[in-house]
A and B are shown apart, each in its own frame.
Chain A
Amino acid sequence: MFFLSQLVGRPVRDRDGDVFGKLRDLIVALGERYPPVTGLVVRVSNGRDIFLPWTDVEEIDTGGARLRTTRIDIATFQQRPHEIRLRIDLLDKQIVDVEGRKIVRVNDIQVAPVEEQLRLVAVDVGLAGILRRLGLSGPGQRLARALHLEPEKYIEWEDVDPVESSVSSLKLRVPHEALGTLHPADVAHIVEQLAPRDRAGILAALDDERAADVLEELAADDQVDILEALTPEKAADILEEMGPDEAADLVADLSQERQEELLGLMEPDEASDVRELLAYDEETAGGLMTTDFITVSSDQTAQQVIEMLRQLRPDADHVYYLYVTDAEGQLVGTITLRGLIVAEPTTHVREFTRPEPISVAVDAHADEAARAIARYNLLALPVVDEEGRIQGVITVDDAFERALGEGWRKRLPDLFEPAEEA
Chain B
Amino acid sequence: MRRTASHGRRRAIGLVARIGLLLPVLGPGLVSGFADNDAGGITTYSIAGAQFGYDLLWVILASQVVLFFTQEVGARIGLATGQGLSGLVRERFGIRWAAFMAMVMLIANLGTTIAEFAGIGAALSLVGVPIPISAVLAAVAMVLLVSQGTFGRVQYVFVAAGLGVSIAYVVSALLAKPDWGTAATRLVIPALGTSPAYWLAVVGTVGTTITPWGQAFIQSYVVDKGLDRSNLGAERIDVGLGALLTNLIAGFIVVACAATLFASGQHDLTTAGQAAKALGPLAGTSATILFAGGLLAASLLGLGVVPLTSAYTVCEAFGWESGVQWRWRQAPAFYGLLALFVGVGALFVLIPGLPLITLIYLTAVLNGILLPFILVFVMLLARDERLMGDLRSGWRLSVIGWSVTAVLVVMSLVLVWVGLFSSSA
Contact between A281 and B1, CB atoms less than 8 A apart: yes
Contact between A222 and B12, CB atoms less than 8 A apart: yes
Does A107 have its Cβ within 8 Å of any Cβ on chain B? Answer: yes
Does B194 have its Cβ within 8 Å of any Cβ on chain A? Answer: no
Contact between A222 and B11, CB atoms less than 8 A apart: yes
Of residues 171 to 215 in A, which have CB atoms within 8 Å of B's CB atoms? Answer: 192-193, 195-198
Does B26 have its Cβ within 8 Å of any Cβ on chain A? Answer: no
Contact between A278 and B3, CB atoms less than 8 A apart: yes
In the complex, how many angstroms separate the beta carbon of B201 from the nearest chain A beta carbon?
Answer: 37
Complex CA–CA separation, A219 to B9 (angstroms): 9
Contact between A167 and B81, CB atoms less than 8 A apart: yes
Interface code A283-299, partner B: CB below 8 Å = 1, 0 otherwise?
00001000000000000
Q: Which of A133, A166, A196, A222 has the most CB of B within 10 A?
A: A196
Among A59-67, A71-79, A405-413, the one that faces the other chain is: A405-413
By a CB distance below 8 angstroms, the chain B residues around A105 are: 90, 318-319
By a CB distance below 8 angstroms, the chain A residues around B153 are: none
Does A378 have its Cβ within 8 Å of any Cβ on chain B? Answer: no
Does B10 have its Cβ within 8 Å of any Cβ on chain A? Answer: yes
Of residues 107 to 145 in A, which have CB atoms within 8 Å of B's CB atoms? Answer: 107, 125, 130, 133-134
In the complex, how many angstroms separate the beta carbon of B373 from the nearest chain A beta carbon?
Answer: 18
Does B396 have its Cβ within 8 Å of any Cβ on chain A? Answer: no
Complex CA–CA separation, A198 to B386 (angstroms): 16
Known: A130-B318, A280-B3. A193 touches B13 (CB 8 A): yes
Among B220-228, B231-239, B287-295, B361-369, the one that faces the other chain is: B220-228
By a CB distance below 8 angstroms, the chain A residues around B3 are: 249, 252, 278, 280-282, 287
Does B4 have its Cβ within 8 Å of any Cβ on chain A? Answer: yes
Contact between A196 and B224, CB atoms less than 8 A apart: yes
In the complex, how many angstroms separate the beta carbon of A290 from the nearest chain B beta carbon?
Answer: 14
Complex CA–CA separation, A420 to B319 (angstroms): 19
Known: A130-B318, A252-B3, A406-B7. A92 touches B83 (CB 8 A): no
By a CB distance below 8 angstroms, the chain B residues around A278 are: 2-3
By beta carbon, the residue of chain B nearest A165 is B83
Contact between B82 and A166, CB atoms less than 8 A apart: yes
Interface code B59-98, partner A: CB below 8 Å = 1, 0 otherwise?
0000000000000000000001111100110111011101
Complex CA–CA separation, A405 to B10 (angstroms): 11
Of residues 229 to 282 in B, which have CB atoms within 8 Å of A's CB atoms? Answer: none
Contact between B4 and A282, CB atoms less than 8 A apart: yes
Contact between A107 and B5, CB atoms less than 8 A apart: no
In the complex, how many angstroms separate the beta carbon of B219 from the nearest chain A beta carbon?
Answer: 11
Contact between A406 and B96, CB atoms less than 8 A apart: no
Known: A130-B318, A196-B224. A252 touches B5 (CB 8 A): yes
By a CB distance below 8 angstroms, the chain A residues around B10 are: 219, 221-222
Contact between A198 and B82, CB atoms less than 8 A apart: yes
By beta carbon, the residue of chain A nearest B323 is A193
Interface code A251-283, partner B: CB below 8 Å = 1, 0 otherwise?
011000000000000000000000000111110
Contact between A405 and B82, CB atoms less than 8 A apart: no
Does A395 have its Cβ within 8 Å of any Cβ on chain B? Answer: no
Complex CA–CA separation, A281 to B2 (angstroms): 6
Does A365 have its Cβ within 8 Å of any Cβ on chain B? Answer: no
By beta carbon, the residue of chain B nearest A286 is B1
Contact between A168 and B11, CB atoms less than 8 A apart: no
Interface code B1-38, partner A: CB below 8 Å = 1, 0 otherwise?
11111011111110000000000000000000000000
Does A225 have its Cβ within 8 Å of any Cβ on chain B? Answer: yes
In the complex, how many angstroms separate the beta carbon of A366 from the nearest chain B beta carbon?
Answer: 11
User: Chain B, interface size: which category?
Assistant: 35 or more
Contact between B4 and A192, CB atoms less than 8 A apart: no
Contact between A197 and B99, CB atoms less than 8 A apart: no
Does A93 have its Cβ within 8 Å of any Cβ on chain B? Answer: yes
Known: A196-B82, A420-B329. A407 touches B5 (CB 8 A): no
By beta carbon, the residue of chain B nearest A132 is B95
Contact between A168 and B91, CB atoms less than 8 A apart: yes
Complex CA–CA separation, A45 to B81 (angstroms): 34
Interface code B321-336, partner A: CB below 8 Å = 1, 0 otherwise?
1000001011000000
By beta carbon, the residue of chain A nearest B100 is A134
Known: A134-B95, A222-B12, A287-B3. A197 touches B329 (CB 8 A): no
Interface code A376-405, partner B: CB below 8 Å = 1, 0 otherwise?
000000000000000000000000000001
Complex CA–CA separation, A93 to B223 (angstroms): 17
In the complex, how many angstroms separate the beta carbon of B24 from the nearest chain A beta carbon?
Answer: 12
In the complex, how many angstroms separate the beta carbon of B391 from the nearest chain A beta carbon?
Answer: 11
By a CB distance below 8 angstroms, the chain A residues around B5 are: 252-253
By beta carbon, the residue of chain B nearest A401 is B8
Known: A167-B387, A280-B1. A225 touches B226 (CB 8 A): yes
In the complex, how many angstroms separate the beta carbon of B35 from the nearest chain A beta carbon?
Answer: 22
By a CB distance below 8 angstroms, the chain B residues around A281 are: 1-3
By a CB distance below 8 angstroms, the chain B residues around A192 are: 11, 13
By beta carbon, the residue of chain B nearest A198 is B82
By beta carbon, the residue of chain B nearest A278 is B3
Contact between A279 and B330, CB atoms less than 8 A apart: no
In the complex, how many angstroms separate the beta carbon of A247 from the nearest chain B beta carbon?
Answer: 13
Q: Which of B10, B94, B226 has the most CB of A within 10 A?
A: B226
Contact between A92 and B90, CB atoms less than 8 A apart: yes
By a CB distance below 8 angstroms, the chain B residues around A102 are: 321
Contact between A221 and B95, CB atoms less than 8 A apart: no
By beta carbon, the residue of chain B nearest A105 is B319
By a CB distance below 8 angstroms, the chain B residues around A414 are: 327
Complex CA–CA separation, A130 to B4 (angstroms): 49
Q: Which of B9, B12, B95, B386 is A133 in contact with, Cβ under 8 Å?
A: B95
By a CB distance below 8 angstroms, the chain B residues around A372 are: none
Complex CA–CA separation, A272 to B1 (angstroms): 17
By beta carbon, the residue of chain A nearest B327 is A414
Complex CA–CA separation, A197 to B227 (angstroms): 9
Q: Which of B2, B12, B91 is A92 in contact with, Cβ under 8 Å?
A: B91
Complex CA–CA separation, A219 to B98 (angstroms): 32
Does A94 have its Cβ within 8 Å of any Cβ on chain B? Answer: yes
By beta carbon, the residue of chain B nearest A250 is B7
By a CB distance below 8 angstroms, the chain A residues around B387 are: 167
Contact between A107 and B95, CB atoms less than 8 A apart: yes
By beta carbon, the residue of chain A nearest B329 is A420
Known: A193-B13, A406-B7, A406-B11. A94 touches B319 (CB 8 A): yes
In the complex, how many angstroms separate the beta carbon of A190 from the nearest chain B beta carbon?
Answer: 11
Complex CA–CA separation, A107 to B80 (angstroms): 25
Contact between B81 and A166, CB atoms less than 8 A apart: yes
By a CB distance below 8 angstroms, the chain A residues around B98 are: 92
Complex CA–CA separation, A280 to B1 (angstroms): 6
Complex CA–CA separation, A281 to B226 (angstroms): 29
Complex CA–CA separation, A219 to B7 (angstroms): 8
Does A220 have its Cβ within 8 Å of any Cβ on chain B? Answer: yes
Complex CA–CA separation, A222 to B87 (angstroms): 22
Would you list the 3 A-B pairs with minimal beta carbon distance, nearest first? Answer: A105-B319, A197-B82, A220-B7
In addition to A94-B87, A166-B83, A197-B226, 16 A-B residue pairs with Cβ atoms within 8 Å of each other are A105-B90, A107-B319, A134-B99, A166-B81, A167-B83, A195-B223, A196-B82, A197-B81, A197-B83, A197-B223, A198-B82, A219-B12, A222-B10, A253-B5, A281-B2, A406-B11
- List residues of chain A with CB under 8 Å of any chain B CB: 91-94, 102, 104-107, 125, 130, 133-134, 165-168, 192-193, 195-198, 219-222, 225, 249, 252-253, 278-282, 287, 405-407, 410, 414, 420
- List residues of chain B with CB under 8 Å of any chain A CB: 1-5, 7-13, 80-84, 87-88, 90-92, 94-96, 98-99, 223-224, 226, 228, 318-319, 321, 327, 329-330, 386-387
A-B contact list, 14 entries, CB within 8 Å? A94-B319, A105-B90, A133-B94, A167-B387, A196-B223, A198-B82, A219-B11, A220-B7, A222-B10, A249-B3, A252-B2, A253-B5, A407-B11, A410-B11
